[in-house]
Amino acid sequence: MTDPSSLFAELQTLATEQRNPLSMEIDTASVREILEIINTEDHKVPIAVREEIPHIEQAVEIVVEAFRQGGRLFYVGAGTSGRLGILDASECPPTYGTPPEMVQGLIAGGPKAVFRSQEGAEDVEENGARALEEAGVAPPDVVCGIAASRRTPYVVGAVAYARTIGCKTLFVTCNPRSEFNLAVDVAICAVVGPEVIMGSTRMKSGTAQKLVLNMITTASMVRIGKVYENMMVDLQMTSKKLIERSKRTVMMVTGVDYAEASRVLESVSGHVKTALVVILAGVSAEEAKQRLETTNGFVRPAIIGDFGA
């Protein structure tokens, strides 16, 4: 159990727990002034994230290598950070056609914490380690801790456990790198400064974390062939919107009309990548599937028949 006095002392020094001098009078401000203060502070977030691109790049390289080896990405967080990890993970299957287990989010307090705060659940390091153990985490899986403060015991425990079993580890925080003292492969430290409301890290810190997680999974999916040009081509046709988006993608890339796009998609069980290769390479569905297998799912070389490297 953490000594309350040491925790109090630690909180006093965290960048995410400082008072913001630009919002000191927010309690007397008009609605317009409140919104302008928040918006002005929010403008600092993408700048802070941009400064971390070299480290985000390293994280992506680790995740891509894990995916290529059949590994998974696990996000681990508490509160807002945990919910953001679950959000990013849950959106990968419909967007990129990935199996649900490929990117997973674990949150202190379990699934119920997604909908209702379970604040005390984050205070025990062993809980984080246990969550990974129960999920069957093992190399080549990657574990990414998410904690604006860097200190969340549940997250620290999970990352420490992951390292003991040989997994690569990442950490996304909003406190300075100079104060980061955990052993991880890559730390991403997007320092956004004090929150408009002191300690409310669901604001700028949460926005920064969301941007970073978007970048990690999006760049990783691009690098394993889930995107053609700038379009999703491994999406799952699980809703009317996604069915129509699939048809529109085929039409935009190939120039065929709606009826032809629908026909080809139906002939390949709705798989957009295969439909693109069938039309643009002028091959059968079976040949298109073989080409995509040879190119590890990358559409461009499958179309032109580049099976070299």
**Residue 145: which H helix or E strand, with range?**
strand 142-146
Cα 81 to chain centroid, rounded: 11
- CB neighbours of 80 closer than 8 A, spacing ≥ 6? 148, 201, 202, 205, 206, 209
User: Which one of the listed residues 10, 57, 61, 91 is annotated catalytic?
Assistant: 91
Judge whether 122 counts as a catalytic residue: yes
195 catalytic per annotation: no
3-state secondary structure of 168: strand
> Rounded distance, CA 35 to CA 29, Å?
9
Torsion-angle region of residue 33: left (phi > 0), alpha (psi -120 to 50) or beta?
alpha
Annotated catalytic residue: which of 41, 52, 122, 125? 122
- Residue 140: cis peptide before it, omega within 30 degrees of 0: yes
Which positions are annotated as active-site residues?
A: 91, 122
